[in-house]
Structure 1
């Protein structure tokens, strides 16, 4: 299982809905559509449902799903017993198993090497309020664009580490997730605007 890397898509052994449940869900889905579309939509949904059920009930798929779940449970149990975790290595498709203490130690070593200022208060909400206020004042944006750029439930960026297995002592490479940060959507919008309107000259 681990040799397939973290990108391997596991076949989960789902408990599927009954046909009655699926038909009820279809009727709910098309309820607000124009009446002339009800029958064509219902036929289309049922056709796709039949195809999906054939794939789900494929003996080979079910067998593989059960095997995958058994292996996953075994790996999870061994990780828990040894207080370990699984992550992917930096710059390679290698799976790394290490104890949680080793992982925390490597992250702390990285944090000690850079200049950090410890805050007494999480500024995320205040920063988000100021960002949303600025977006609302921007008259060049439509109301819909303003709404799409605002973050409703912001979170401070989170950090995780990828072990550099190609370097001595296996330090970590920091990976920061900004996806739920207050300015993530705004930055993404501005980046797209810049790409569309500015032609960069390549000097290589």
Structure 2
């Protein structure tokens, strides 16, 4: 790998340097320093007032506003109904339980300890360990939330688990890079990636008769 610090340099007096620096300055000025037209300022204030009004009404009447599962529209429901359906889902599936204490510190310590052990056992390098170690300030607990299925009777809820900033996220990404090529190699022929891939496979199937 080439040294990333040894980058090509353009002399500051070069016409090319001046050209691109002027364009960059103009772009930044236009994007971030040009005042909004009066019409847009008025509209922004009106929208802010509307948002505050909606928040007050939701709080006053104990309502909850959520984006629906598939249609992408907004759905308003009673908080008590959401809590009841969420509790019923946990009880029915037995897949989740409500935490009574915060396990964040324990998770950080356990992941860090395991990575240090792997480093000591020479299973991973120091570079890999440092890349996989969770950063406390940027790490969050995984959490579950629900999206309403407004297209179904009684508006059931679909559970979504958010793990984007969890302590094991970097490890998951690292393993995916290692395993993904093997997975794609052996199961690609039986895997449909998306709608376009499905249509392409159907066309090839029809061509073969």
TM-score range, shorter chain: 0.5 to 0.7
1:128–1:183 contact (8 Å) kept in structure 2: no
Give the alignment's TM-score, normalised by structure 2: 0.66
Cα displacement (A) at 1:190: 1.2
Structure 1 segment 6-155 matched on structure 2, within 5 A: 46-53=25-32, 55-115=34-94, 116=96, 122-136=102-116, 137-138=118-119, 139=122, 141-153=124-136, 154-155=139-140
How big is each residue's C-alpha offset from its partner over 1:16-53, in whole Å with a ceiling of 9 and x where there is no partner? xxxxxxxxxxxxxxxxxxxx86x979867753442125
Higher relative contact order (CA 8 A, sep 6+): 1
How many residues align? The count is 170
Aligned match of 1:191? 176
Give the alignment's TM-score, normalised by structure 1: 0.67
* Segment of structure 1 superposing worse, 138-147 or 182-191: 138-147
Q: Separation in 1 of the partners of 2:98 and 2:145? A: 18
SS at match of 1:200: helix
Computed over aligned residues only, the root mean square deviation of the Cα atoms, in angstroms, reads 3.1
Q: Separation in 1 of the partners of 2:142 and 2:108? A: 13
Q: Compared with structure 1, are the counterparts of its residues 114 and 64 closer, same or farther at alpha carbon in structure 2 (3 Å cutoff)?
A: same
